[in-house]
Amino acid sequence: MLLLVAILWGSSYVFAKLTIQAGMHSGVINACRGTMCVIAGYLIFHKQINKMTWLDFKLGVLMGTINFLGYFLQTDALRYTTPAKNAFLTTLYVAIAPLILWLFWHERPQRKTYFAVALAIIGMAVITNVANTGLQLNFGDFLTVVSAIFWALQLIFFGKYAPKVSSPWVVIFMIGLCQGTFGWITTGLFERTNLTQIHWVQALIPLAILAIVVTFLAQGMQITAQQYTDATSAGLLLMLESFFASTMSVIMGYDPLTPQLIWGGLILLLANAIMQVNFQDVPFLRKPKFQE
């Protein structure tokens, strides 16, 4: 199930790019996908949603707001960068999360975190080609890195607070509600003049896939599946999202298959794998136990 989630999440970068090519901006994309998610969620899980508690509502608004900011920045970044770079740079959230836990929750990171963060920075430098161009991040790359901070926050809040809600589908419903609400507000304030330039027929199919399959179904599957597997296995499987995103982006012609893309992506994946693996569970790395 988690492997299927990774494939769906990976495909979302290309579908988001297709909606942008249809003339949509980030605000209206998130507004429409959030609205569709709310409608689908309520039609299928209205019994659980009708029993929403005050705690469910508060945690749902918190996690929904974080989710919207991550999606908004990540989607807007696709106007300036490619799906593969967007996907790979997003994986920085796995290295960022422990640092946020240390700063705000005083949970000291493991020693491997420092090495993983250094690798992630090197990977980002390779994939954005700063060695040749200097320290000049593409604006889309910069937005993607900022969005990774919000994905790190979502990872933290999902782990700490999602188990306290009455149903995972209540969380998904609230995420869709916040995404739709904030998306329409953003559209009304900043994107009204763009609405007449949108090719709605061209945008409808990828938008529906983003809303129902990626936002609603995949996130619900993730929360459900993680009840039956350990965190390391889940993290390693979900990390394949960037691999599937880049593969689809190259196939669709958005990205050329360059050495920078391959090596930078592999380094970022290695950094994330280091963050996920518990080296004390690796047999040949265990410290020997001496018997008296």
pLDDT per position as a tens digit, 181-228: 999 999 999 999 888 899 999 999 999 998 888 888 888 888 778 777
In this prediction, residues 231-255 reach a mean pLDDT of: 76
Structure tokens at 102: 């240390």
Say which range, 54-58, 63-67, 285-289, has the weakest mean pLDDT: 285-289
Residue 288 to residue 88: CA distance in whole angstroms: 38
Which pLDDT belongs to residue 177?
Answer: 95
Q: What is the 3-state secondary structure (H, E, C) of the chain?
A: CHHHHHHHHHHHHHHHHHHHHCCCCHHHHHHHHHHHHHHHHHHHHHHHHHCCCHHHHHHHHHHHHHHHHHHHHHHHHCCCCCHHHHHHHHCCHHHHHHHHHHHHHCCCCCHHHHHHHHHHHHHHHHHCCHHHHCCCCCHHHHHHHHHHHHHHHHHHHHHHHHHHCCCHHHHHHHHHHHHHHHHHHHHHHHCHHHHHHCCHHHHHHHHHHHHHHHHHHHHHHHHHHCCCCCHHHHHHHHCCHHHHHHHHHHHHCCCCCCHHHHHHHHHHHHHHHHHHCCHHHCHHHCCCCCCC
CB neighbour list of residue 100: distance below 8 Å, 6 or more residues apart: 149, 152, 153, 156
In this prediction, residues 63-78 reach a mean pLDDT of: 91
Residue 93 to residue 150: CA distance in whole angstroms: 8
In this prediction, residues 101-124 reach a mean pLDDT of: 83
Q: Do the beta carbons of residue 268 and residue 242 sit within 8 Å? A: yes
Which pLDDT belongs to residue 278?
Answer: 72
Residue 170 to residue 64: CA distance in whole angstroms: 11
Reported residue count of the chain is 292
Which pLDDT belongs to residue 230?
Answer: 63
Tens of pLDDT along 5-42?
A: 888 988 888 888 889 899 998 899 999 999 998 998 89
Which pLDDT belongs to residue 283?
Answer: 61
In this prediction, residues 161-180 reach a mean pLDDT of: 87
Identity of residue 36: M
Residue 56 to residue 162: CA distance in whole angstroms: 9
Tens of pLDDT along 114-151?
A: 888 888 878 877 876 655 655 567 888 899 999 999 98
Residue 202 to residue 2: CA distance in whole angstroms: 30
Tell the residue number behind the tokens 């090197």, with chain if given: 122
Higher pLDDT, 254 or 209: 209
Which pLDDT belongs to residue 68?
Answer: 92
Is the pLDDT assigned to residue 166 strictly greater than 90?
A: no
Q: Please give the share of the chain, as a percent, with pLDDT higher than 90.
A: 25
Which pLDDT belongs to residue 147?
Answer: 94
Residue 63 to residue 232: CA distance in whole angstroms: 23
Is the pLDDT assigned to residue 252 strictly greater than 70?
A: yes
The Cα angle at residue 213 between residues 153 and 27, in degrees rounded to 5: 60
Question: In whole numbers, what is the pLDDT of the chain averaged over residues?
Answer: 83
Tell me the C-alpha to C-alpha distance, in Å, between residue 114 and each of 119, 120, 155, 211, 243: 9, 10, 19, 36, 24
Provide the whole-model pTM: 0.81
